[in-house]
Amino acid sequence: MATTALTLSAAPLWAQEAEETQVIGISIPAATHGWAGGMNYFAQAAVERLEEVYPQLDFVLATASDPSKQVSDIEDMVATRGIDALVVLPFESEPLTGPVKAVADQGVWITVVDRGLSEPGIEDLYVAGDNPGFGRVSGEYMVSALPEGGKVVALRGIPTTIDNERVAGFEEAIAGSGIEVLGMEHGNWNRDDAFTVMQDFLSKHSQIDAVWASDDDMAVGVLAAIEAAGRSDVKFVLGGAGMKEMIARTRDSDPMVPANVTYPPSMIASAIEITALGLVSDAPVAGRFIIGSELVTPENAEQYYFPDSPF
């Protein structure tokens, strides 16, 4: 008996690893549409791709409609599936911090996506979008699209750090250009709020050259308000986040939607793929990966259009 045990444990480490299946748990907020719907789609697609490429990896994907369901999903993954790694996009930071820390303390690799936990240092890998970059790329586009300068209005999201970082990046990028910001108001990343805010802007200002809607949902509301008002002075609306319908309009050279700036829900796929990489290769993947915001134009829009995604 003792000899057998010794022989087994003397097998080369790579051989032991090759035989062993490793399990990655993925816990994300549920959604059937919008940005979160896209995130769900890309998480599922990444799992399917990885299952095909790496037979030695198994995946558990759970979606939750509230933080307490998400906590119990995660506890379940540890208890019944013995996960080796957890990829989590927290529903909310506060209620998930303690439970995720408890999982980390058991030696499970932790990848946190997009929304950070309330305590630093719990996760091994953090994957998130680039909010200052989102604003900067948007501002740079405005400057290039209005080379003679012009009068613009801007819509902000829900008052948050994310929104502040985006706006700061935008303002820095247009500083010193001929662009004059007539007004900036919170449309709360909401279509209806954005419609109302834009109605106000249109009634206050007789000449608006362009709108930084800063989000595709808000852009939809803004475009509706412009159409309802019958105004032809507004040359274009710049949204953001890469909603499918808006990417299609850019691809099809709609002059009102000439560009987009990404904040891709597919960052969940990057997080899952890189977590998998940490299990199948010697490449170090602990750290902080900030996914860049990229400018989408008619020339490259096709590569940002995913026909099967809901977003």
From candidates 80, 106, 161, 281, binder to a copy of itself by CB under 8 A: 281
Q: How many CA atoms within 13 Å lie on the side-chain side of 66?
A: 2
| Interface with a copy of itself, residue 145, by CB under 8 A | no
Q: How many residues does the chain have?
A: 311
| Interface with a copy of itself, residue 270, by CB under 8 A | yes
| Interface with a copy of itself, residue 284, by CB under 8 A | yes
Size, binding site for a copy of itself by CB under 8 A? 31
Nearest CA-CA partner of 134 in 93, 99, 163: 163
From candidates 89, 155, 226, 269, binder to a copy of itself by CB under 8 A: 269
From candidates 70, 260, 266, 275, binder to a copy of itself by CB under 8 A: 266
Nearer to a copy of itself, 45 or 102 (CB): 45
Q: Binding string to a copy of itself for residues 234 to 263, with x set by CB under 8 A, is what?
A: ----------------------------x-
Nearer to a copy of itself, 211 or 267 (CB): 267
| Interface with a copy of itself, residue 53, by CB under 8 A | yes
| Interface with a copy of itself, residue 106, by CB under 8 A | no
Cα Rg of the chain, angstroms: 23
Min dist. Cβ of residue 67 to a copy of itself (A): 26
Min dist. Cβ of residue 272 to a copy of itself (A): 8
Nearest CA-CA partner of 107 in 84, 128, 126: 84
Q: Pick the stretch among 1-9, 109-117, 179-187, 264-272 that binds a copy of itself (CB under 8 A).
A: 264-272
Separation of alpha carbons 182 and 169, rounded Å:
18
Separation of alpha carbons 186 and 99, rounded Å:
34
| Interface with a copy of itself, residue 297, by CB under 8 A | no
| Interface with a copy of itself, residue 175, by CB under 8 A | no
Q: Which two tokens stand for residue 182?
A: 């007539």
Min dist. Cβ of residue 197 to a copy of itself (A): 30
Min dist. Cβ of residue 101 to a copy of itself (A): 17
Point out which residues bind a copy of itself (CB under 8 A).
42, 45-46, 49, 53, 124, 130, 262, 264, 266-267, 269-270, 272-274, 277, 281-292, 294, 306
